A and B are shown apart, each in its own frame.
Chain A
Amino acid sequence: MTTTAPAPQVYGGDEVATLVIDTGSSYTRVGYAGEDTPKLVVSTECGLMADEDVEMEDDTSNTTKKLNKYKVGDSANLPLPNMEVLHPLTDGIVADWDAVQNIWEYSLARLNADTKTHPLMLTEPCWNTQANKLKALEIAFESLEVPASYLVKDAVASAFAAGKGNALVLDVGSEVASVTPVIDGLVLYKPARRSQYAGDYLDRQIKKVLVSRGIDLTPRFEIKNKKAVEMGEPPVFTKRELPNVTHSFTDLQVSRILSEFKDSMCQVNDVPLTPEISGEAADRVFEFPTGYSTTFGADRLSTSESLFKPSEYPFDGETVPDTARGLSEMVVDTINASNVDVRAHLANNIVITGGGSLVQGLSDRVSKDVTQALSGLKVRVAAASNQEERRHGAWIGGSVLGSLGSFHQLWVSKQEWQEKGGDYLVEKKRFK
């Protein structure tokens, strides 16, 4: 290999910053490449107004109609009448492109970014479909009119961000937990695993416990006023009268309480919980929006344990499939399903990322479980201690790649898109 001459024309250079968008199930991160954290983190769960409301506001063009119809960012958190909350991603990949396009447009407008001049880097999970890649590029080139674009695999970005070309990436997101082997910067698809036993699932487990304890989960927006009460005393509050607030909106607001509980209360025991081992968790106080506060001890451990043994924590009226795997089991399965030559590399370079992995004690438990299951292999877990780095790991990876002058040779230009067509690019070339 010899020194390569600079590309005849590279996009971006140093003057024009690259835009990076990472679209996750619950949050979308948007910002400029080269920066440490995204400029903007907006909820991917956005509001959709019922049609009749739109017609009143809409007297100009189609675009205003579209923008008015969707409520993105702060306005999606307002209890607007008849606003349904959408979950545009299913199984970690985009299912509702209309909504996602609106989120992108909203965020880029907030950044005051003229997309015609900035290359756009997008992240994607490794199980993304060809049709979805095509659609993402189509929006980038046709609607946003970016000069160049690139899709980067989030697992690869996370591995690189940890300084590893060879790694086993355990990404615990809100909707999906995935385990992806990366060897020399390339994803090994066959042994990769994923499951739904991730952040949102843990939220539901928490809800199950709270409801069984008879706790009122009235979200903040519904509360008009409340009185301070002693710990353990029943709450004293009055509700606001809000007409036509949808169930999906209330559900989203309740899930915010659950997430807060998850972040501040949940803890993974260092060894598996069994009837004999109940673990020890100090009591901690949690205050609900109603003003009610109480202590939690064992529940803090048992809720989190469900991520490791989903089969033992079924929901009422639901059966857990035999194929259900906890986080550690998935890691072990993936290593065992990988080629013998790379197993040692993978076990020695487990990278844990994703907001869901921030549950206290989670990475230590994975490390212990895997060490025990794979005797003979040296297990080593790397997890960023910085919370932001874990929550936005894939975005940060995209940010660094996008800021490299050298990386610009890999961009797909608008011209290439127009000349060769999306099918060619997605199927034959870069984004396969």
Chain B
Amino acid sequence: MFQPCCSKSTMSRSGVAVNDSALQAFNELKLGKKVTFIIYKINDAKTEIVVEEEGTTDSYDTFLGKLPENDCRYAVYDFEYEISSGEGKRSKLVFFTWSPDTAPVRSKMIYASSKDSLRRALTGISTEIQGTDFSEVAYESVLERVSRGAGSH
């Protein structure tokens, strides 16, 4: 008997699901300050999204260095920045879909078609970045996007 395992509304366009640990890691990042970035990947069996790495880094560029040059990933980064008027720091949760032009089509396809299930599960993201090369995810580009959002000034 054929039965779809879950309704369309909770499943990504590809049917890839989100592992529980992916959400736990996100909640840790949101609540505490121990974790400042999470990199997600799709497991080798291409069935679910799992945490590849989570940790703390004070430099945004260190985080960028963890994104593979020729493959896709998702990532969440707790983006902290100084606001221009000198009123102190703000921090925003930024969601990245990293899909470099040089990645295999297969990989690009799976990540693009599976993104919505992860993205929808993560509440509290302020900005979403779709990156196909390092210039699109560079600090300045992200800063520009983040500071454009509501309540950032």
Contact = CB atoms under 8 A, between A and B. Distances in A.
Contacts of B16: 404, 406
Interface in A375-412: 382, 389, 396-397, 400-401, 403-411
A165 B15 contact: no
B109 A400 contact: yes
A349 interface: yes
Contact of B112 (A4, A8, A185): A185
A131 interface: no
Given A389-B105, A405-B45, A405-B47, A4 B113 contact: no
B11 interface: yes
Interface string B112-147: 111111011100000000101000000000000000
Interface string B15-27: 1111110010000
B36 interface: no
Contacts of B34: none
Nearest to A410: B15
Contacts of B8: 410, 430
Interface stretch (B77-85, B86-94, B95-103): B95-103
Contact of B5 (A8, A148, A345): A8
A406 B16 CA distance: 5
Contacts of B111: 163
A382 B15 contact: no
A1 B16 CA distance: 12
Given A7-B5, A389-B105, A165 B112 contact: yes
B62 interface: no
24 contacts: A1-B18, A1-B23, A2-B20, A3-B20, A4-B6, A6-B5, A7-B4, A7-B5, A8-B1, A8-B5, A9-B1, A9-B3, A160-B108, A161-B109, A163-B100, A166-B130, A185-B12, A349-B130, A396-B105, A404-B16, A405-B45, A407-B15, A409-B6, A415-B2
Contacts of B17: 1, 3-4, 406
A144 to B, nearest CB: 18
Q: Size class of B's contact patch?
A: 35 or more
Interface in B8-56: 8, 10-20, 23, 45-48
B12 to A, nearest CB: 8
A107 B25 CA distance: 49
A185 B109 contact: no
B7 to A, nearest CB: 10
Interface of A: 1-9, 11, 36, 148, 156, 159-166, 184-185, 345, 348-349, 382, 389, 396-397, 400-401, 403-411, 413, 415-416, 430
A403 B99 CA distance: 20
* Most chain B beta carbons < 10 A, residue from A1, A7, A401, A403: A1
Contacts of A409: 4-6, 11, 15
Nearest to A409: B15
Nearest to B107: A163
A9 B2 contact: yes
Nearest to B120: A1
Given A165-B130, A166-B130, A382-B132, A7 B109 contact: no
